[in-house]
Amino acid sequence: MDIIYAAEKPSIAGLLSECVKRPIDPDDITVTENPGETGSFYIGWHLNHYVLAPNGEITLKTLELLD
């Protein structure tokens, strides 16, 4: 069964803290829904962008340069 997280910044900041191995204040991140996947969120932190999947996995989303 997939785990779906509510868009609560303190919870998401805690998950991101575990991922990057350093404390992150919830006020330091931005969280928006990912319209491409139910239960998925985009996380912005400093210059990095991450994706929180419904199963709780956080991945670094790299930006692509357009020609």
- Greatest alpha-carbon span in the chain: 40
Name residues whose C-beta falls within 8 Å of residue 60's C-beta, 6 or more positions apart in sequence.
48, 49, 50
pLDDT at 57 over 60: yes
Q: Which of 63, 35, 66, 28 shows the shortest CA–CA distance to 49?
A: 63
- For residue 12, CA distances in Å to 29, 49, 60, 66, 67 come to 9, 13, 14, 30, 34
Give the per-residue pLDDT at 1. Answer: 44
Q: Which tens digits make up the pLDDT trace of 5-47? A: 566 899 899 999 999 999 999 999 999 999 988 889 999 999 8
